[in-house]
Amino acid sequence: MTITLLSIAYWLGLAAVGWCICWLMLRSDHSITTYFFIGNHTTLALWLISQLLILQSVTVKQLWQSYTIGNLGVSFTGTFWLLFVLNYVDRQTPKNFVYIMTSISLFFFVIILTNPCHHLYYKSFTLDGTVYGPAFYIGQAYIYSAFLTGIYMVIRCCFILKQRPSSQGTLILLATCIPLLFNFLSISGVIRTKIAVTPLTFALSGLLILLATYRYDFLNVNGVAFEDAFNSIAEGVMIFNRRGRITYLSSSARKLLGADENTALADVLKMTNENSDEPSEITVDGVTASIRYYRCLDSKGATLAHIIIAADITHYYELLDRTAQLAAAERSLALEHERNRIAQEVHDTAGHTLTMITSLARLSQAAAEKVTGEGLNDLKEYLEETERISRSGVTQLRCSINNLRDDSFLKSVTGAVKMLCDSVKDMETELCIQGAEDGRFSFCIREVYDSCRELITNCLRYSSADRIDFILRFGDRSLEVFYFDNGKGCSEIKEGNGLRGIRERIERLGGTVMFSSGEDEGFRATVKIPVANKEV
């Protein structure tokens, strides 16, 4: 009766393990992970077959052959289990490591086969029982080490790092630990029986694996494919269960959001527009991400899961910046083209006209030298005035054309004044620079330029000078501009629009202006602009 019950139990265990192997072959992905797991269950099937044969053995030879079949499974079960776990947790498994593990199992099986020669595995082997030798305990130590290492790796993967569903990890651990516990209790002598207790638990293990495969997609190709797909795309994916715990976290989500397995749902929801369909944007370590939030609902409207999808949009903003830069460059080119066009038109029309007026005025003066009679003095005076005005107009026109064509000289006070000096062709000009110009003086470039241009214009119109001198003195707290010409000067200075404009624009900057002159002493101007507390 006992043998019959044991046979039924073993047959049930073998059926569960066999069905589990068939189910995995049909439903799971045909990967190396699956093959190692099937290999592990095949070793269990061999062990169960050996137990069925042991029940039917009546001679020592039959018993030895039955044990040999079971020991083949026992020798390789730890190896297949550890190789399966290494692949299950996505650890790289070098071929040499696989060869070494397989060689160790093969070595122990050879020791078992040759036991009659050395009796290291079984000291005694009879129909009444067996006495284990040192090789048996060494082999068991290797098997237990492989199983315990695999158990630790599954716990770390499923419960600590949460790289795999915890439900899968729980069922795998139960299917492994229950037989392992009974085996330990049997070997240690806590459970004393003449029958092998461990194989009786294989039926339960098989049922647990079937549950993991059917209910939780253990080794299912879809689950593996989805995870690989999520990890390969640029978008980050986070999935929380209804209790707010992370059940899936893609590698991209770790990078984009700085998330880990301990990230709380509430913290992530703060980054999202929870009550809006519009995505929110955050920037982490210089990376800008667009975040969308979704809820999975059941048929009753209850929340099943929370899904966060993050996309890297840094490149999008870089393109926007680049587009803005290109648009600004295009506007600048268009403006430069228009300036050049206007400058050319002014040069071709007004410039030519003023030049001709100047030439005619000079010819008229030369002709007036030969004229005698009443009104000669008035004619000469009018012609001289015409020449002065036209020369002043030509100089101002040159400045305006240069200003239209290129305003780069306005980047420094020195460059602006030098451009004015270079525009004067009918007299000698000299520019002296004292001190070093830096960014503190950039705020007054336009005012200095306009003021100096007005001084040059007045000189050309009224002074009859042939030399102009400018001194620019860049100090720690002020900029000073000194102007001198060697014209005819005047005994009294009357500030018209030009000189009044110089004073007003300089005083708006908090500066001061002083004009001085005398008969046959030329004209002088001193401009002082404070630069204290100005930003560089």
Query: Does 268 share its domain with 371?
Result: no
For the ranges 285-289, 391-395, 503-507, the one whose mean pLDDT is highest: 503-507
pLDDT at residue number 110: 95
Name which of 59-63, 185-189, 312-316, 335-339 the model is least confident about: 185-189
Give residue-wise pLDDT tens across range 167-185.
778 888 887 888 778 777 7
Give residue-wise pLDDT tens across range 65-92.
999 998 998 899 899 989 988 887 877 7
- Say which residues have a Cβ less than 8 Å from residue 316's Cβ, sequence separation at least 6: 288
3-class secondary-structure state, position 429: strand
Query: Does 158 share its domain with 181?
Result: yes
Give residue-wise pLDDT tens across range 421-433.
887 877 899 999 9
For the ranges 185-189, 367-371, 511-515, the one whose mean pLDDT is highest: 511-515
Query: In total, how many domains does the chain have?
Result: 4
Cα 183 to Cα 148: distance, rounded to the nearest angstrom: 13
Cα 468 to Cα 486: distance, rounded to the nearest angstrom: 7
Name which of 40-54, 165-179, 378-392, 472-486 the model is least confident about: 378-392
Query: Does 364 share its domain with 278?
Result: no
The number of C-alpha atoms within 13 Å of 211 and in the hemisphere containing its C-beta is 15
The β-bridge relationship of strands 467-474 and 428-434 is: parallel
Q: How confident is the model at residue 524 (pLDDT cuts 50, 70, 90)?
A: very high
- Examine the pLDDT at 64 and tell me if it is beyond 90: yes
Query: Does 503 share its domain with 373?
Result: no
Position with higher pLDDT, 218 vs 268? 268
Whether 225 maps to a domain, the answer reads: no
- Say which residues have a Cβ less than 8 Å from residue 494's Cβ, sequence separation at least 6: none
Q: Which of 406, 435, 459 is a domain's end point? A: 406
Q: Which of 219, 244, 271 is a domain's end point? A: 219
Query: Does 212 share its domain with 103?
Result: yes
- Say which residues have a Cβ less than 8 Å from residue 297's Cβ, sequence separation at least 6: 303, 304
Name which of 113-122, 148-157, 331-340, 501-510 the model is least confident about: 331-340
Q: Which of 293, 312, 331 is a domain's end point? A: 312
Cα 60 to Cα 41: distance, rounded to the nearest angstrom: 28
- Examine the pLDDT at 238 and tell me if it is beyond 50: yes
189 phi and psi, to 5 degrees?
90, 5
The distance of Cα 322 from the centroid of its chain, to the nearest Å, equals 17
- CATH number for the domain that contains residue 180: 1.20.1070.10
Q: Are 265 and 254 in contact (CB under 8 A)?
A: no
pLDDT at residue number 5: 72
- Say which residues have a Cβ less than 8 Å from residue 376's Cβ, sequence separation at least 6: 368
pLDDT at residue number 194: 59
pLDDT at residue number 470: 97
Beta strand ranges found along 224-343 (DSSP E): 236-241, 246-249, 280-284, 287-297, 303-312
Cα 250 to Cα 259: distance, rounded to the nearest angstrom: 10
Query: Does 268 share its domain with 337?
Result: no
Query: Does 184 share its domain with 280?
Result: no
Whether 224 maps to a domain, the answer reads: no
Query: Does 239 share its domain with 204?
Result: no
Query: Does 262 share its domain with 285?
Result: yes
Name which of 47-56, 331-340, 353-362, 499-508 the model is least confident about: 353-362
Q: Which domain holds residue 360?
A: 317-406
3-class secondary-structure state, position 436: coil
Q: How confident is the model at residue 221 (pLDDT cuts 50, 70, 90)?
A: very low
